[in-house]
Structure 1
């Protein structure tokens, strides 16, 4: 059995690609430097299901509006009670029975709960028992660059979310925070606006430090919603965040776009952020 992540770029040219189980976690505008519209990007992503047959399984987010699929559909959602895998009383529930208690896992945030749901659904579709799947899921450690806690300095938490390369990822990271946020965002211009995050940023973020090609554009999108500063580099952004953040707040590095204007990759970007934070004085 092969488990693969397939990009829209790869799906553009498929002919015989036929997953027996296909997972659709979510959709958000992205790569508009490649596609002429959000609709064209979405159409490329939807080719994931193109060669599936009635004997296959499509695991999809219940809140997503998708076209009719030939495969048997299994739904999940941390936000809706009308899904096959749903959230109830601190547990992931399937067929009205709890299958995983959230306090047993090391993952936090509703987005990670949905990731767990999708994983359980895929295993169930393969015939695995929940009792076999739960222990490794509970032992799973969050990966680097995905809301990774770096350190606390003077009562301020520093979080590396460099993997956030689109708006949906930033939204999920912000929703997972319970403290006021100083947000470092920005990077390569992929052709989309940060305007959709304006309301959430106004609610959750006290100040923003912006970097990269999109810095000025993001500042315009969020003008009047939050205090913004433009940084000349990631090192400058970390220094500015360190000077701005107060005890009881979070410095969240969640760029919202790709890294290639300034870095080799999101991992290189996150590694540099981590090193800069580790070098800050107590």
Structure 2
């Protein structure tokens, strides 16, 4: 992609938008940034942009700003139905995202991992397995560094292990991972995508440009994920925690195996007991990671050692503390109903569950059977509280707490020895917090303060 002297508009000044703008300018483009936030809200970034000659439009998008561009790069947080973006597409202008832009310049091979839940854990684990095996490895995307910031370190020999979201995949055109992994597809971000079909279609774009030399790793027990198989030209490898499969990774007895082909002998990788992560959903994440690693040529013994030494990722069923024989777990990353179900299912019972935040057009009634079985009390917080209380009325005892600190105080008072206090909100965090990491950090700080 030739960028020199091209007029490029970056829409949205988030982390990836800022990185894209600076990258484009360094490549000789004439760059403008447009954001709906006010100049005061962007104060920490504007001086650095102006200093290198990047124009900044704040407080809204101008239609003429969009019309005067050779290329438009939208940040993941900017919906494609934003009126100005929609009009640009209607006029036939080229609109891509930061992931697509970065993929045009990133050297080496890519492992791209998506799914409604488990992306961060699986991406981090794959990165660790590759690094431990001595492969030149870069990790980023929807976690850590934006993909565009990995370009400078990439080489023809490197592996870039990327977490990619539906927001990022919406705008890919030529993005072509060597190994693509789709962990699961369950309802999420319906407020953004409009329907589950649209959301699933965005996830499917991960394999759109793959060919017969590439690999696609899919969940054999997830119906929506299975549908991706019909959309690919790549070699398909499956993973299953419940049955033996013809090609891929699976659990048999008490161990995890990899099968390189339909005719190959299953290769033992590690006993399930050596997986240090809590919850059956994490067995699936490990199966997917192992499959990707074997496809990249990492030996079984190296994979086993890496998995055994892996620890839970921050904000994902993270054990914070045990106080008065009550355990406190931070699963702030559980930002949809399916993730919350997986978190609750990781405990036998006695759960005090903190739910709520910003609703994403979710159906909380799906939680009902599991709540009846394992949860003592639900404490609601945030703007979704009333909807949650309405949809779960009569299922379990519900206490309206409003804020995270109030919910934690109520839960700590009600919990008895052997119980679990679990933050697994089933909602995004943007009504009361900067992001799910901020929410998780606040929860952790509040819990640890109780120990003093």
TM-score class, shorter-chain normalisation, is over 0.9
Structure 1 unpaired stretches of 5+: none
What corresponds to 1:92 in structure 2?
A: 256
What corresponds to 1:200 in structure 2?
A: 370
Contact 2:254 2:271 in 1 (8 A): yes
SS in 1 for 2:409: helix
Deviation at 1:281, TM superposition (A): 5.4
Q: Does 1:77 align with 2:77?
A: no
Deviation at 1:211, TM superposition (A): 0.5
Q: Does 1:126 align with 2:290?
A: no
Deviation at 1:89, TM superposition (A): 2.5
Distance change in 2, residues 1:199/1:179 (3 Å): closer
Partners of 2:268 and 2:395 in 1: how far apart? Answer: 41
Bigger Rg over Cα: 2
Count residues in correspondence. Answer: 282
Contact 1:63 1:80 in 2 (8 A): no
SS in 2 for 1:34: helix
Q: Does 1:40 align with 2:210?
A: no
Pick aligned residue for 1:219 from 371, 377, 389: 389
Partners of 2:255 and 2:348 in 1: how far apart? Answer: 20
- What's the TM-score, normalizing by structure 2? 0.60
Contact 1:186 1:218 in 2 (8 A): yes
What corresponds to 1:253 in structure 2?
A: 423
Contact 1:160 1:274 in 2 (8 A): yes
SS in 1 for 2:193: coil
Structure 2 unpaired stretches of 5+: 1-158, 260-265
Pick aligned residue for 2:308 from 138, 163, 176: 138
Partners of 1:188 and 1:204 in 2: how far apart? Answer: 24
Contact 1:62 1:80 in 2 (8 A): no
Deviation at 1:237, TM superposition (A): 0.4
What corresponds to 1:188 in structure 2?
A: 358
Deviations 1:234-260 (A, max 9, x none): 110001101121111111110111111
Deviation at 1:94, TM superposition (A): 2.4
Deviations 1:126-153 (A, max 9, x none): 1221112211221111111111111112
SS in 2 for 1:23: strand
User: Which of the pair has the greater relative contact order for Cα pairs under 8 Å at 6+ separation?
Assistant: 1
SS in 2 for 1:92: strand
What corresponds to 1:244 in structure 2?
A: 414
Contact 1:59 1:76 in 2 (8 A): yes
Q: Does 1:54 align with 2:212?
A: yes
Partners of 1:256 and 1:80 in 2: how far apart? Answer: 29
Deviation at 1:124, TM superposition (A): 0.9
Partners of 1:17 and 1:172 in 2: how far apart? Answer: 31
Q: Does 1:16 align with 2:180?
A: no
Q: Does 1:108 align with 2:271?
A: no
SS in 1 for 2:450: coil
Moved more, 103-112 or 16-25: 103-112
Distance change in 2, residues 1:281/1:131 (3 Å): closer
Over aligned residues, Cα RMSD in angstroms? Answer: 1.5
Deviations 1:146-167 (A, max 9, x none): 1111111222111111111111
Partners of 1:24 and 1:281 in 2: how far apart? Answer: 40
Moved more, 147-156 or 86-95: 86-95
Partners of 1:272 and 1:3 in 2: how far apart? Answer: 29
SS in 1 for 2:163: coil
Contact 2:356 2:388 in 1 (8 A): yes
Deviation at 1:180, TM superposition (A): 1.6
Deviations 1:196-253 (A, max 9, x none): 1111111111110010111111111111110001112111000110112111111111
